[in-house]
């Protein structure tokens, strides 16, 4: 898009990965409406600049498949339960984005036509071309894959120019900055650095997918209002993970 606002952005199409835990706030469980509202406003404001915006959201604030599997539930079934949790989060985020004045659509990898649209690549691309925020739910539709991997997969399928990983801190640090005050924030890392040092920013499959498709991963904080728009313009504090 050749709008003046879009010209200030580094990219024309991006994917934002949100964790389910980000929606829980200090409650630690469920959806905190006071938390989801500013996140939705940030997404709506970024989309309003003309950037084509996709979102993949996790479900850890409601149900974590891996933890349930460790508790005795069959792993595949537990993962499917976690995928259903992402649909609940996606619908809540869609509502908040639309309240903020931006049209959004939820597409689920697990078909549930009475609730949302099934994931069809061409349909998703059509929504993006019409300026709608596209929220991908249901992970990859398969057990044993995380929503990080789903984010890298959808970013590749949508031909996104970057994957923005929203976290609670402004990038990747050498240690937990809340526990180690002088921890160093990295400005840039290579995919190889992340895998070799086992930094656990995203799982290995997600990093490898991004690497193989040449998609940079930008780790930034979603806590402060307006950070997403700043990051799209190349401002603010973050860590970029790319080919080095």
pTM exceeds 0.95: no
CATH number at 93 reads 3.40.1160.10
Q: Which of 1-10, 59-68, 123-132 has the lowest mean pLDDT?
A: 1-10
pLDDT at 20: 92
pLDDT at 198: 85
pLDDT at 66: 67
pLDDT at 5: 44
Enclosing domain of residue 24? 4-242
Query: Among candidates 130, 98, 225, 210, which has minimal Cα distance to 165?
Result: 210
Query: Among candidates 139, 160, 148, which has minimal Cα distance to 54?
Result: 160
The total domain count for the chain is 1
Residue 237 φ/ψ, nearest 5 degrees: -95, 135
Q: Do residues 185 and 173 touch, judged by C-beta distance below 8 A?
A: yes
Query: Among candidates 31, 40, 54, which has minimal Cα distance to 137?
Result: 54
Q: Quick one: angle between helices 204-212 and 147-157, nearest 10?
A: 10
Average pLDDT, the chain: 91
Average pLDDT over every residue of 20-26: 87
């Amino acid at each position: 898009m050749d709008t003046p606002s879009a010209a200030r952005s580094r990219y024309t199409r991006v994917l934002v990965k949100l964790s389910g835990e980000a929606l829980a706030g200090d409650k630690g469980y469920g959806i905190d409406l006071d938390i989801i509202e500013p996140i939705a406003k940030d997404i709506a404001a970024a989309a309003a600049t003309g950037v084509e915006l996709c979102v993949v959201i996790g479900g850890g604030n409601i149900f974590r498949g891996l933890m349930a599997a460790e508790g005795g539930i069959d792993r595949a079934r537990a993962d499917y339960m976690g995928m259903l949790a992402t649909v609940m989060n996606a619908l809540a985020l869609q509502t908040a984005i639309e309240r903020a004045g931006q049209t959004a659509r939820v597409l689920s990898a697990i078909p549930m036509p009475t609730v949302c649209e099934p994931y069809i690549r061409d349909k998703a691309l059509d929504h993006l071309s019409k300026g709608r925020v596209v929220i991908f739910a249901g992970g990859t539709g398969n057990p044993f894959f995380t929503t990080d991997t789903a984010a890298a997969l959808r970013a590749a399928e949508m031909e996104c120019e970057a994957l923005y990983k929203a976290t609670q801190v402004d990038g990747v640090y050498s240690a937990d900055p809340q526990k180690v005050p002088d921890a160093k924030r990295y400005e840039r890392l290579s995919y190889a650095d992340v895998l070799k040092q086992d930094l656990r920013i995203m799982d290995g499959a997600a990093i490898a997918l991004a690497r193989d498709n040449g998609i940079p991963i930008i780790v930034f904080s979603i806590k402060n209002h307006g950070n997403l728009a700043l990051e799209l313009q190349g401002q603010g504090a973050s860590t970029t993970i790319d080919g080095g």
